[in-house]
């Protein structure tokens, strides 16, 4: 199945974020929901199972100057096998203008057995823009090994490269379950926060999660592996990730916080 969707947010004369465009097609439907506070909240509603191998889904998000947009999904996406040899693809392209904010906080992506999925995200943030971007991958449904999954993330900040990451799991990804990449953890993910107003934070690590200040601007990546989706979410909650990584005494390695 092929589907495209597009979301364009602007600020009206009263300074409120409004959706200048909101359109999608099954299985990529967009629904605005009322939400407290400023900005708009949109849910991506999966109109069908999947993505199934062979699907090609594209979503464009444009957040204009000063606008605030939150994007969620109603449920986890489960990448499933389809026609033999076929690959399913999703491509999300987002631009965040100056003074604008995009909070991209979808539910998990699950790599089911036999899937062949490529998830690409290309995000451009203008200087002075804010971005919260979370990716969570679950390797297989309960008790199964994942198929092939590749998650590619490109983020530019002020027209310079900020983050480039490709994570590959599954039979075609050598060593993915080994001690370099995931060491058998079935959940992994990251939370990127680009926020010029946030004070710079030092690198820190606690168990299997790390707080990583990036080189390319006022941005921090929280990166983690976890035994399950629930634990991973605890590690990657935007409101708590900052505090818990330094405060938690748990984890298999002793807590270490680096200064400088």
Partner 1 sequence: MATPTMLLLLADGRFPAGAHAHSAGLEAAVAAGRVTDLDTLAEYLRGRLATAGLVTAAFAAAARGVAWSAGRSAALARLDAELDARTASPAQRSVSRRQGRALLRAGRRIWPQATFDDLPAAPDGPHQPLVLGLVGAAAGLNPGQVATVAAHATVTGSASAAVRLLGLDPYQVQALLVRLAGTCDATAARAARAAEEPPERLPAAAAPLADIHAEAHVTWEVRLFAS
Per CB under 8 A, 154 contacts partner 1: yes
Q: How far is the CB of 116 from partner 1 (least distance, A)?
A: 18
Total residues at interface with partner 1 (CB under 8 A): 45
Tokens describing residue 199: 């004070």
First-to-final CA distance of the chain: 50
Binding partner 1 by CB under 8 A: which of 80, 138, 204, 236?
A: 204
Binding partner 1 by CB under 8 A: which of 86, 178, 228, 247?
A: 178
**C-alpha closest to that of 79 among 58, 43, 49, 107:** 49
* Binding mask of the shown chain, residues 217 to 256, with x at each position contacting partner 1 by CB under 8 A: ----x-xxx--------------------------xx--x
Nearer to partner 1, 80 or 194 (CB): 194
Return the residue matching tokens 């818990």. Answer: 244
**C-alpha closest to that of 130 among 84, 70, 89, 173:** 70
Whole-angstrom Cα distance, residue 162 to residue 194? 10
Per CB under 8 A, 193 contacts partner 1: no
Q: How far is the CB of 48 from partner 1 (least distance, A)?
A: 30
Per CB under 8 A, 180 contacts partner 1: yes
DSSP 8-state class, residue 81: -
DSSP strands (E only) in the chain = 2-11, 17-23, 28-33, 40-46, 56-63, 68-73, 77-79, 88-96, 101-104, 109-111, 116-125, 130-139, 148-157, 160-169, 187-194, 204-206, 209-213, 219-226, 256-257
Q: How far is the CB of 176 from partner 1 (least distance, A)?
A: 7
Q: How far is the CB of 76 from partner 1 (least distance, A)?
A: 20
CB 63, CB 97: distance < 8 Å: yes
Q: How far is the CB of 232 from partner 1 (least distance, A)?
A: 11
Binding partner 1 by CB under 8 A: which of 190, 191, 235, 236?
A: 190
* Residue span binding partner 1 (CB under 8 A) among the ranges 17-25, 46-54, 80-88, 154-162: 154-162
Q: How far is the CB of 151 from partner 1 (least distance, A)?
A: 9
Dihedral of CA 176/182/188/194: which sign? negative
**C-alpha closest to that of 136 among 61, 229, 53:** 229
Q: How far is the CB of 171 from partner 1 (least distance, A)?
A: 13
Per CB under 8 A, 43 contacts partner 1: no
Report the interface residues with partner 1, using CB under 8 A: 152, 154-155, 160-168, 173-183, 188, 190, 203-205, 208-210, 212-216, 221, 223-225, 252-253, 256-258
């Amino acid at each position: 199945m092929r589907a495209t969707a597009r979301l364009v947010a602007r600020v009206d004369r009263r300074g409120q974020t409004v959706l200048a465009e909101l359109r999608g097609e099954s299985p990529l439907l967009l629904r605005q929901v009322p939400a407290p506070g400023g900005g708009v909240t949109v849910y991506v509603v999966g109109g069908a199972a999947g993505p199934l191998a062979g699907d090609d889904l594209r979503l464009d998000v444009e957040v204009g100057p000063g606008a605030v947009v939150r994007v969620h999904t109603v449920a986890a996406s489960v990448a499933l096998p389809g026609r033999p040899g076929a690959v399913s693809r999703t491509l999300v392209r987002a631009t965040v203008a100056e003074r604008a904010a995009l909070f991209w906080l979808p539910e998990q992506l699950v790599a089911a057995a036999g899937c062949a999925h490529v998830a690409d995200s290309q995000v451009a943030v203008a200087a002075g823009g804010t971005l919260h971007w979370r990716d969570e991958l679950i390797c297989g449904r309960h008790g199964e090994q994942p198929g092939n999954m590749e998650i590619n993330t490109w983020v530019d900040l002020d027209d310079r490269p900020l983050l480039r990451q490709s994570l590959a799991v599954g039979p075609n990804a050598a060593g993915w379950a080994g001690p370099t990449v995931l060491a058998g953890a079935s959940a992994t993910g990251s939370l990127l926060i680009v926020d010029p107003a946030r004070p710079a934070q030092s690198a820190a690590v606690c168990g299997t999660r790390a707080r990583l200040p990036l080189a390319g601007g006022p941005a921090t990546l929280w990166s983690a592996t976890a035994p399950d989706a629930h634990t991973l979410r605890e590690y990657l909650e935007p409101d708590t990730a900052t505090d818990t990584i330094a405060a938690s005494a748990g984890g298999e390695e002793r807590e270490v916080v680096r200064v400088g």
